[in-house]
Amino acid sequence: MQLKIHNSYRKIIALSDTDLIGKTFEQGIKQIEITPNFFKGQEKNKEQIIPILKALQKEDATFNIVGKESVQTALEAGIIKQKGIIKIQNVPVALILL
């Protein structure tokens, strides 16, 4: 998975399955583009990502999570719930905007 942390007035976290980088998904009016500029960061595994997500959740961060592995990791970290996941062309997407 790719994890990138953008620093703004609050931290914006981009987490994506590596194989989705550079792809665009559309379904009806829903669309998401997994741009390398926003999503490509450091390659990390689930065991590395879970503690990072938990720590960033406490900092009032915003999360953009795309892909089966990434969304599953966020579920296991407890930062998203199943009802907050949408699918675009069968790709799970979760956004947490606080």
For residue 41, what is the domain's CATH number? 3.30.1860.10
- Domain total of the chain: 1
Strand partners, 25: 32
Q: What is the pLDDT of residue 97?
A: 82
Q: What is the pLDDT of residue 59?
A: 87
Predicted confidence pLDDT, tens digits, the chain (98 residues)? 999 999 988 899 999 999 999 999 999 999 999 999 999 999 999 999 999 999 999 888 999 999 999 999 999 999 999 999 999 999 999 998 86
3-state secondary structure 8-30: CCCEEEEEECHHHCCCEEEECCE
Please give the structure tokens belonging to residue 57: 């959740």
Q: What is the pTM of this model?
A: 0.94
Rounded Cα distance between 8 and 5, Å, is: 10
Q: What is the pLDDT of residue 98?
A: 66
Query: Could you tell me the residue range of the domain that residue 67 belongs to?
Result: 2-96
